[in-house]
Amino acid sequence: MSNGPQRLSLRHPGGTTTVFVGRGVVEASRPSFTKWLTDRLVFLVSSPRVLELHGDAIQELLAPAETVVTLTAPEGEEAKSLEVAGRLWAEMLESGGKRDSRLVAFGGGSIGDLGGFLAGCFLRGIEYLQLPTTLLAQVDASLGGKTAVDHGATKNSIGLFHHPALVLSEIAFLSTLPKGELRAALAEVVKMALLLDPLLLEWVERDLDKLLAGDPAALEPVVVASAKAKMRVVERDPEEGDQRRLLNFGHTLGHALEVALGYGDLRHGEAVAYGMLFALRLAERRGLEKPVAERLRRLLARFDLPALPPVDPDELMEIMGRDKKAKRGGLVWVLPVAAGEGRMVPDIEPEEVRRELEDFLRDPLPTAS
Ligand SMILES: NC(=O)c1ccc[n+]([C@@H]2O[C@H](COP(=O)([O-])OP(=O)(O)OC[C@H]3O[C@@H](n4cnc5c(N)ncnc54)[C@H](O)[C@@H]3O)[C@@H](O)[C@H]2O)c1
Ligand SMILES: [Zn+2]
């Protein structure tokens, strides 16, 4: 269990990212932060809501900068477009941005992905810092250097690897998150726990009610352990080979559900929760022990997921077939083998998937018992 803010290091091909995570990070990271931005021109990329809710908390931290230029992007996924990026690059050039300028991405994963992309391309790359304010961004999106914007309907299609110099994950920022956002992000925590960290899985099972309620004392050790789990995967596999693709557990069907339902009815994490429930069926057919599958189903039943709207299995099959992560020769599924261990399974026949899917869609929600 962690107590108070932790200072961690993530090693990657371009160097080292220092990661502060926990309660009281804003204070604990002050010396590193100050050193990084003193006398620099700093671009603060954020959204109106985050600035209104938490802007004051970081104003003082930014004070040692020579100048702070605030760049505002729209809320949520709308931030991730070439149009927004183009507008903000123009503002950066007009304000005299140089190679030694700094950028701070302050917001959820959308702002983080946009900010990293802005920093990665601006004058062929400037240093940036991730200040994630959502649970998803703290446990996942801010770590690993993946940056991107969307192009047309294709998510994350234009981007690059560009690691932040610093990540500051302050648990206090999560206090204003809508409960639905917390729940969706906790589904991704369950994903990492099941595949990578059996102890984390136990904590989530024990404290789920407190976590769903946003209790900071319960969130702190879970955010720290999840961030560590993600960092271990990134260090083993910085450029997203097979190791990192393990984190796609639940995402094959999850993405297809999001596309079929139009990104409106379900949050990403909720779609992933359904995706995990489905993948469990394929996993059980390949030897995953029933008690492990039941354990995950019981846990996800406590999430009180919104009902799945009617959706056509053929459409889902078609969408999964054109997934950008599909390898030639068919889809690769990530399936749990045991609690704490997952595997890529390349050779599942589409007929089997189609059959299971039809069955699954008849009664997708587990019942809590
Ligand atoms: N780069 C990666 O490795 C990676 C990994 C996972 C996800 N992602 C990306 O992350 C994005 C999703 O991120 P997200 O789930 O953080 O959502 P988000 O960034 O879209 O934020 C959701 C909403 O919450 C608001 N918000 C942010 N912080 C808040 C706070 N503290 N209190 C109240 N409201 C707050 C935002 O303004 C926004 O309106 C997707 O675009 C996804 O592709 C990237
Ligand atoms: Zn995800």
80 lines ligand 1 (CB under 6 A): yes
CB 194 within 8 A of CB 157: no
Catalytic residues: 124, 146, 188, 230, 240, 244, 248, 251, 255, 268
Specify the residue with its C-alpha closest to ligand 1, atom 41.
Answer: 110
Distance CA 49, CA 174 (A): 13
CB 201 within 8 A of CB 57: no
Q: What is the pLDDT of residue 365?
A: 86
Beta strand ranges found along the chain (DSSP E): 6-12, 15-22, 41-46, 67-72, 102-107, 128-132, 146-151, 154-161, 166-170, 333-338, 341-345
106 lines ligand 1 (CB under 6 A): no
Which residues make Cβ contacts (< 8 Å) with residue 175, sequence separation at least 6?
A: 214, 216
Mean pLDDT of 221-248: 91
Q: How far is the CA of 269 from the centre of ligand 2 (A)?
A: 6
Q: 18 is written with which tokens?
A: 């220092």
Mean pLDDT of 65-88: 98
Q: 52 is written with which tokens?
A: 């209104």
Is the pLDDT at 339 greater than 90, yes or no?
no
Please name which of 284, 266, 275 lies closest in space to residue 325, comparing C-alpha atoms: 275
50 lines ligand 1 (CB under 6 A): yes
Is the pLDDT at 183 greater than 90, yes or no?
yes
CB 190 within 8 A of CB 42: no
Mean pLDDT of 86-115: 98
Determine which of 161-170, 180-189, 252-261, 334-343 has the lowest per-residue pLDDT on average: 334-343
Residue type, 360: F
Distance CA 69, CA 91 (A): 9
Pocket perturbation via mutation, ligand 1, pick of 134, 155, 189 by most ligand atoms within 8 A of CB:
134
Distance CA 113, CA 149 (A): 7
Rg (CA), the chain: 20
Q: What is the pLDDT of residue 222?
A: 98
pTM of the model: 0.95
Is the pLDDT at 278 greater than 60, yes or no?
yes
Q: What is the pLDDT of residue 113?
A: 98
Q: What is the pLDDT of residue 367?
A: 74
177 lines ligand 1 (CB under 6 A): yes
Distance CA 118, CA 71 (A): 11
140 lines ligand 1 (CB under 6 A): yes
Please name which of 18, 14, 13 lies closest in space to residue 227, comparing C-alpha atoms: 18
Q: Return the SS3 of 134.
A: coil
Q: What is the largest CA-CA distance in the chain?
A: 62
Residue type, 152: G
Give how far Cα 52 sits from Cα of 46, 72, 289, Å.
10, 12, 48
Confidence of residue 242 (pLDDT cuts 50, 70, 90): confident
Q: What is the pLDDT of residue 100?
A: 98
Q: What is the pLDDT of residue 345?
A: 92
Q: What is the pLDDT of residue 141?
A: 97
Is the pLDDT at 369 greater than 60, yes or no?
no
Length of the chain: 369
CB 159 within 8 A of CB 148: yes
Mean pLDDT of 350-354: 93
Which residues make Cβ contacts (< 8 Å) with residue 291, sequence separation at least 6?
A: none
Q: Which helix H or strand E contains 316, and what residues bound it?
A: helix 313-321
Mean pLDDT of 94-111: 98
Pocket perturbation via mutation, ligand 1, pick of 25, 77, 111, 113 by most ligand atoms within 8 A of CB:
113
